[in-house]
Amino acid sequence: MTNCIHDHGRWGRGDQIGAGHLLTPERTLKALKSVNEGRILDLSHVIEVGAPRIAPTQTPYLMQIGPTSAGSIRRRRKIGAKNDAGSNLERIELTTHVGTHIDSLGHFTYGDRMHGGYSAELTVDDFGMLNLGIENCPAMVTRGICLDVSGHDGSDHLAAGRAVTKDDLQRALDKAKLSIEPGDVVCIQTGWGRYFMHDNDKYVAGEPGIDLEAAKWLTAQDVVAIGADNMALEVLPGRNHPEVLMPVHQYCLADAGVYIIENLMMDGLVAAGINKFCFMLSPVKFKGATGCPVRPIAIV
C-alpha cells in the first residue's frame, strides 16, 4: 500500500524535493560568478548547552565528553606502538531543530496530508519518516538576498507579535534596489536575533515574523527557501492565535514545498550593507529526520 494517497501540489504526486527543483546548474553558476571579494560571512549561531528551545516539544541540547588518553596508553603498550596517541570523543543529544537549522518538507502537515500527497499516518514511523526526510533536501548554492525590516517601526528591532507583511518586504526590496528572482533564498532580518542566548525566555515566548500573505507572496516568486533571525520564521503569536497555529509552516512546507531556515545570524550582513550574495547551505543527511542543524554562509 502506497503512503502517497492525497492530492498532490505543484511539484507532483510523490515529490520529495519541492522548490529544490529550482536549483538549476545555471542558477548555481550565476551565483558563483557573482562573487567579487571572496569574503565569507557565517550566517549561523554556535550550538551550545543552553541553546534556546521551545519546551516541551524540543528537548535540550546536551554534550558529554571525556578524554581517553589512559585507554590509548594501555592499547599502545599492548600492540607495541611507540607514539602517545590520545583521543577525545563526545556524545551529543539534540533535537534536529536546535540552533540555526533547516526544516524538511515533512516537518509539518495538514492533518494527515503531507507534501507530495503523502499520508502522515503511513509516512511517520517510530524511527523517522519513510519519505520527506531531510536527506532529500538538496544542497543549495544560489543567490541569497537579505531583507532588513528590523527598523520599520523606528527601533532597532521589531516587537514580538509584529507581523512582517508583503508590503514590509517590498519596502526592504525597494530600499535595496532588488527584485526577487526564481531560485533565490530570502533571508529576513527582524532584529529579534539579538535575544538568542542573551534572553532565551524572551526569544522563544513570541517573535516578529512573516504572516501567511507574505509567505504566499514569496513562494509565488519561486524562492527555494525563506529564512529569518528568529525561532520559527512566522509571527508568534499569530494573528488568529490560538484558532490557527503555524499556518506559514503548513503552507510553505506541505503546500509550496519551500524550505524554512530558522535562527539565522545576519548581523554581519546588515552591518556591512550587503543585500545580495552567493548563498551556500548543505543539509546533513539524517535519514527520516524533520530537519537538521546547518551552517549557511554568504560569499561576496
Q: What is the percentage of the chain residues whose pLDDT exceeds 70?
A: 94
**Residue pointed to by grid coordinates 523606528:** 154
> What pLDDT was estimated at residue 189?
98
Question: What is the rounded average pLDDT of the residues 37-58?
Answer: 96
Q: What is the percentage of the chain residues whose pLDDT exceeds 90?
A: 86
> What pLDDT was estimated at residue 75?
62
**Residues sharing a CB contact under 8 Å with residue 173, sequence separation 6 or more, in sequence order:** 145, 147, 179, 180
Higher pLDDT, 68 or 135: 135
> What pLDDT was estimated at residue 77?
63
Cell numbers for 250: 503548513
Question: What is the rounded average pLDDT of the residues 79-108?
Answer: 88
Largest CA distance in the chain: 71
Amino acid at 105: L
Whole-number mean pLDDT of the chain? 94
Q: What domains are there in the chain, each with its CATH number? A: 18-47+96-299 (3.50.30.50), 62-93 (no CATH)
Amino acid at 118: Y
Residue 237: asked if its preceding bond is cis (omega within 30°), the reply is: yes
Cell numbers for 203: 526569544
182-199 b/e with 16+ CB inside 10 Å = b?
ebbbbbbbbbbbebbeee
Residues in the chain, total: 300
> What pLDDT was estimated at residue 76?
62
Amino acid at 119: S
> What pLDDT was estimated at residue 10?
85
Q: In which band, very low, low, confident or very high, does the pLDDT at 7 lie, cut at 50, 70 and 90?
A: confident
